[in-house]
Structure 1
Amino acid sequence: MTFGEKIQKLRKEAGLSQEELAHRLKVSRQAVSKWERDSGYPETEKIIWMSSIFNVSADYLLKDEATDVRNRSGGDQGLFVNMKAAEGFMACQKIRKAKTGAGIGACIGSLAFSFMEPEIGVILTMLFIIGGIVLLFSAKLGDDPYAWLRSEHLILDNDVRKRFMEEYDRNGKHAHRGMLAGIAMIAVGILLVPLMIPAELSVLDDVIMGLGMIIAGAGAFLSLYMWGVIKAYRILLGGTGHRKGGVGK
């Protein structure tokens, strides 16, 4: 059963018209119609909404995006992934890693406020730490509709593999440089900046120390996000097989 057939079946079982489903998802009726005809595909956020509306898992809705070929005789054995699943996986991973990086960056950067007046500094520090923790929990506990791609040997269609190999070749070096730059920013903010502070403390010293914590927090975000992007490409491409011709293209 294709993704569109599943949506149509679940919608009818729920007693919803295309207009009613579109209203709940805040999209047009034409968009729902395209999804059901398999001539269009919703964003990851809409898939998660639909899984909640129909009381099914996002994994169930997306499972047609990959074909299990482990039981086929001959050839590679693993999960055959098409373009839609690969694109959705990469987009989902980037969002999750951005939340993780922002959460840790906010916690580190919050230390900048500890160099302010105690009354306001403590409040701002706690607010940023709470915000960072919320982001971390959101990344960790949020629905991950593509988790199954991380637990299987993946077989990519030739076109899919070529597309993402080219992307990795084009963006991989920038991601590695960004990760190293982030690590350098952490080192500068936490290790180098304090060495620049003279023994006698002053208001300017507090400002410099606060700036160092902000630099370190930004570096944590950059390094973790870039590392996450690199890891996502490696999950998709590393150790995968390839196959000519596509499924669900």
Structure 2
Amino acid sequence: MTFGEKLQKLRKEAGLSQEEFADQMGVSRQAVSKWERDSGYPETEKIIRMGRIFHVTLDYLLNEGEGQSEDLAEGKNEEKGMYVSRETADGFLAFRQRKSLRTGLAWGLISGGLCLSIWWTEPGMILYLVLMIVSVVLLFSVKLADNPYRRIEKEPLVFDEQVKADLNAAFSERKKTAYLLRLTGIVLIAAGILICPLITTWVPLVDDIIFAAGLAAAGVGIFLCIYMTGILRAYRLLMRQETE
């Protein structure tokens, strides 16, 4: 059995498409196709990564022939879980960040857009409807978007030591800012919903402006809370599901 035949067999047994496998390897689908047709050969680093992804030994991958069942069995008894490369981890974090950004923007616009209802004029109505349409489009884009990282969210994960250390360092650095911004969001929501409506100047126009500013502040706060929570949750999904 050639290297390409083994690679195709292992990929199919793992339930991966060429696109999904290419994403884990940090290469193009065309490169995977060439490897499986024995029209090209991956670098040593890529072969090592394949062994981790499929839980097989390098001897099994590199030695042609059928008599490798012992090596395969030995490899299968090694680390169990989905191997996550640096490229895959970065891609997952970027995907979750985009998802949280769109969700946060949508709900922030829905909430903050209510400030326009204070002045229910024709321009205000048009702008409010535009904001609602944008919000709905954002929410639908999140709901309908394909998720190429479902396995990361469901399966145990295996990392290289350096990748694991880098992720822990990045999480430690980002969570301080994320917690601070999320706290800021909570303060804005509380001020906008609980405090601003209680402020009275006895001047109707000024009161309306304060109330509208409170709703806008609450919208910003909701955005910050959703966005920062999404970023933190993305890192925790990687950290929590990591196999020891």
TM-score by length of 2: 0.70
| One of 87, 92, 100 as aligned partner of 1:89 | 92
Partner residue in 1 for 2:53: 67
Please give the alpha-carbon distance, in whole angstroms, between the structure 2 residues aligned to 1:157 and 1:124.
50
Structure 2 stretches lacking a partner, 5+ long: 1-6, 8-20, 35-39, 44-49, 57-72
Deviation of residue 37 (structure 1)?
A: 9.0
CA RMSD of aligned residues (A): 2.8
Larger Rg: 2
Aligned length: 193
Partner residue in 1 for 2:30: 7
Task: Work out the percentage of aligned pairs sharing the same amino acid.
Answer: 31
Partner residue in 1 for 2:206: 204
- Spell out, residue by residue over 1:192-239, the C-alpha distance to the aligned partner (whole angstroms, 9 max, x if none): 1101135x4611111111111111111111111000000000001113
Partner residue in 2 for 1:214: 216
Q: Report the structure, 1 or 2, having the larger helix content.
A: 2
Partner residue in 1 for 2:107: 104
Deviation of residue 38 (structure 1)?
A: 7.6
Is contact 1:113–1:125 with CA below 8 Å preserved after alignment?
yes
Please give the alpha-carbon distance, in whole angstroms, between the structure 1 residues aligned to 2:199 and 2:102.
32
Partner residue in 1 for 2:196: 193
| 1:239 equivalent in alignment to 2:225 | no
Is contact 2:191–2:218 with CA below 8 Å preserved after alignment?
yes
Please give the alpha-carbon distance, in whole angstroms, between the structure 2 residues aligned to 1:239 and 1:153.
5
- Spell out, residue by residue over 1:167-200, the C-alpha distance to the aligned partner (whole angstroms, 9 max, x if none): 01111121112112111111111111101135x4
| Runs of 4+ residues deviating >4 angstroms | 8-11, 36-39, 68-73
Is contact 1:181–1:219 with CA below 8 Å preserved after alignment?
yes
Deviation of residue 241 (structure 1)?
A: 2.1
Please give the alpha-carbon distance, in whole angstroms, between the structure 2 residues aligned to 1:9 and 1:162.
29
Is contact 1:183–1:223 with CA below 8 Å preserved after alignment?
yes
| 1:227 equivalent in alignment to 2:229 | yes
TM-score by length of 1: 0.69
Structure 1 stretches lacking a partner, 5+ long: 12-35, 40-63, 243-249
Moved more, 72-81 or 222-231: 72-81
